[in-house]
Amino acid sequence: MATAIKVDHATKNFTLRYHKTFKQMTVAMLRGQEISDTFTAVDDVSFEIEQGESVGLMGLNGSGKSTLLKLINGTMRPDSGQVLTRGRIAGLIATGAGFHPQLSGRENIFLNAAIMGMSQKETERKLEEIVEFADIGRFIDAPVGTYSSGMNSRLGFSVAIHVDGDIFLADEVLAVGDKPFKKKCLAKMEEVRNSGVTLVYVSHAAASVARMCDRVIVLEKGKMGFDGPAVDGIRYVGYEEDLGLEGADQISDNELGADV
């Protein structure tokens, strides 16, 4: 089986600046104060994901999960090491990313689809399906700047999930939106996974990770903490109490990560 994603000793650093203006920086330097600091978001991480594999990426807030996903997506580059991928990458890393607030939802579908690598003909062919899945009614022709966060989530996920990709990246896609839409998203993601697409799923909802993924990678302060079977990874993070599934044909509140 071919390797879809290879992360080879990848490291990503960021610089925090404590002062905004030149004057503030000068005063701080004269006082012997620090004017900036560097922290490592992803620290010498290595792993491989095979084509068609479903992997959950877990860890506490600030552990480097989203940064690692952006390295895989190509929106960021590692400062050292390398990240290699095979095929077209689709997915939702930031809800509504790429949306122009003054354009309508319909216009933003074409804009966002183009950003994700879809041709105009592909988008036109899938337009009706995307609009139907988003289910925002007449607001599809209203400016996106008037949308609620839930409507943004619906439209963003609908575009991303309909991109024909080889790799699908999902960063907390169930964190926004009402319960019925979250159920629909999870069901659609299962459909994508079962089609043979490589899935990398970032979530704190342990039960949905157990349902969607066979393997879990856990980051701890940017370092690889665990890489192995999904249930063992969930226990490693300490979320085992959330593993109570309600049956194969049901989707529980724990799976959705819902606040209901």
Going from the C-alpha of 197 to that of each of 35, 56, 89, 154, 167, the distances in angstroms are 45, 14, 10, 21, 6
> Does residue 100 form part of some domain?
yes
The verdict on residue 7 lying in a domain is yes
SS3 61: coil
Whether residue 49 sits in one domain with residue 59 = yes
Task: Give the residue among 147, 13, 5, 162 at the shortest CA–CA distance from 74.
Answer: 5
19 vs 29: CA distance, rounded Å? 11
CATH code assigned at 234: 3.40.50.300
pLDDT at residue 239 in the model: 77
d(CA 107, CA 170): 23
Q: In b/e form, how buried is each residue of 37-56, taking b as 16+ CB within 10 angstroms? A: eeebbbbebeeebebbbbbb
| Count of structural domains within the chain | 2
Both 125 and 159 in one domain: the answer is yes
How deeply is 95 buried, as exposed, middle or buried, from its count of CB atoms within 10 A (0-12, 13-18, 19+)? buried
- Domain hosting 7: range is 1-27+38-87+166-175+193-260
Report CA Rg, the chain: 20
Round to whole Å and give the CA distance between 254 and 207: 6
Same domain for 244 and 132: no
Task: Tell how strand 215-220 and strand 198-202 pair up.
Answer: unpaired
Strand ranges in the chain using DSSP code E only, listed in sequence order = 3-17, 36-50, 54-58, 80-85, 89-92, 167-171, 198-202, 215-220, 223-229
Residues 64 and 103 in one domain: no
pLDDT at 188: 87
Report pLDDT for 11.
96
Q: Do 231 and 212 fall into the same domain?
A: yes
The alpha carbon dihedral of 203, 208, 210, 211 has a sign of: negative
Give the model's pLDDT for residue 248.
Answer: 36
pLDDT averaged per 10 residues, the chain (length 260): 92 78 69 74 95 94 90 92 92 69 94 87 94 92 90 87 89 68 85 91 88 93 94 87 50 50
**What distance lies between CA 173 and its chain's CA centroid?**
7
d(CA 227, CA 82): 19
Res 123: pLDDT: 93
pLDDT value of position 95: 56
